[in-house]
Amino acid sequence: MSVLLVALTLTSCVEDTDYATPQINCEEPTLTGQEVSMETILNQWIAENDTDGDNIVEYNETENPIEFDSDYDNYIVGYVVSDDKTGNFYKELYLQNDPVNPTKSIKLAVDFRSLYTKYDLGRKVYVYLHDLALNKNRGEMVLGEMINNQVDDMRENRAKENILRNCDAVAVTPVTIASPSEVDDTYLGMLVEFDNMQFDLSLIDITNPENSSTFVDPYDNYDSHRMITSCDDNSQIRLETSTFASFKDDTLPQGQGSVKGVLARDYGDNFYVLRVSSPDDFSFTGDRCDPVLLDCNNPNPIGGSNVVFDEDFESYANYTTALPGWTNTNVNGGNNLFQVRSYSGAHYMQCSAYNSGEAPLEVWLVTPAINLDSSTDEELTFETKTGYNNGAALSVFVSTDFTGDVSTAEWMMVDAEIANGPSSGYQSSFTSSGSVDISCLDGDVYVAFKYLGGDGGVTTTFQVDNVKVTGN
């Protein structure tokens, strides 16, 4: 590799052409031109694409790249927050504008690998903008090279000319996000950290950890998504792992704790994902916080001809939110609630965080008291359906001490089948919960449907119908 050139001859960090071998010697680059901030060029892109003047580029507005010509001799400064050593990042560098308190981030698309050998985690780099272009790609702001009228990967020699590294690699402090329900575009491309997290119980075998799921589903071709759940509010984010990652066959961590990674979007730009550099980014050393799961362990057949409770919502008009005896409450005080909706003559309750303006959006729909004193072997059933699914937002609980305030009751989660998919459009039919055994409960019982999502995050539309309890 020749000495890097940017406008005038610059001195590079190294002159070794072997990108597979970590470099040790380093000389500070000689910089020409002026530094411009990431915010400046990102705002320039917004100005070019904001057609309605609200300073926000909506999904339906045309997204046009901005190009920097060959005479543009200015550069941006960033700190590397991705590490491709294990193969979970591929031909890309995520940069943020500060190692401790970042406000902006950007992704560099490059056409070569083993970037960690020169652009390692925390490395300060200078990116000259001449001959490059900026555009949004699959939900992320990407700086690359204009090839065939689109922003594509920088060719290797272009990348080596335009990306210079400082000799300093500093410690990067992850930005702490309270829970996945508070994720939004502000954090895209940054190194973030979530505390009090654990993998979804469906992926973990507590009694035989070696039988737990691996980072990658062996049937996936490109990326695998594994749900990580917050112990604080039960919200979730998908861990995205490449099928080419060296740790793809490692079993998932069993416990609960913190995880750090780059916040990104999935390939289809349908939902947020967390991408880690290696399993070392997990510190799941604490005890799991799985919710109390109702387990009646009744050896007798459940259900029967005695209908204890039955609600199909057919008697209510569209957009009704106040149902007699039901509790429909937004925990954060907003106006968004479950509401009656209909399709093809069938009525159901529906909730979605899409365009709600709330992040998080936490809404509980609780049945009237269902008295079980005059029946035995009771069975709970219900149906759910999703639309534009970009994350699990619904969970179902039961309680025997609910008095009107969901925060003071003791809730037990039920083991039921919940609808899952598709990411575009709606399911063609409802998903049955299966038989839920509630026969060990007595007196007044309440069933709660909890929706937890957030505008800009998990916005899946969930529909609930045919809530029924039968027994003998």
pLDDT digits (tens, 9 = 90+) for 226-282: 989 999 988 889 999 999 999 999 999 999 999 999 999 999 888 899 999 999 999
Residue range 193-203, pLDDT digits in tens = 999 999 988 78
Q: What is the pLDDT of residues 126-168, one digit of tens each?
A: 999 999 999 999 889 999 999 998 999 999 999 999 999 999 8
CA–CA separation, 212 vs 140, rounded Å? 32
Q: What is the pLDDT of residues 338-364, one digit of tens each?
A: 999 999 999 999 999 999 988 889 999
CATH 2.60.120.200 residue ranges for the chain = 306-471
424-460 residue pLDDT tens: 899 999 999 999 999 999 999 999 999 998 887 789 9
The half-sphere exposure of 342 on its side-chain side, counting CA atoms within 13 A, is 13
Q: Two tokens at 224?
A: 């695998």
- For CATH 2.40.50, the residue range(s) in the chain are 175-286
pLDDT of the residue at 466: 98
Looking at residue 20, its pLDDT comes to: 41
Secondary-structure class of domain 175-286 per CATH: mainly beta
**What's the CA gap between 188 and 92, in Å, rounded?**
14
With cut-offs at 50, 70 and 90, classify the pLDDT of residue 106: very high
Q: pLDDT band for position 55 (50/70/90)?
A: low
Q: Say if residue 58's pLDDT is above 80.
A: no
pLDDT band at 24 (very low <50, low <70, confident <90, very high): low
pLDDT tens digit sequence for 312-338: 999 999 999 999 999 999 998 999 999
Question: Distance (Å, rounded) from C-alpha 65 to C-alpha 135?
Answer: 5
Among 2.60.120.200, 2.60.120.10, 3.30.830.10, 3.20.20.70, what is the CATH number of 306-471? 2.60.120.200
Nearest partner of 45 among 163, 129, 160, judged by Cα = 129
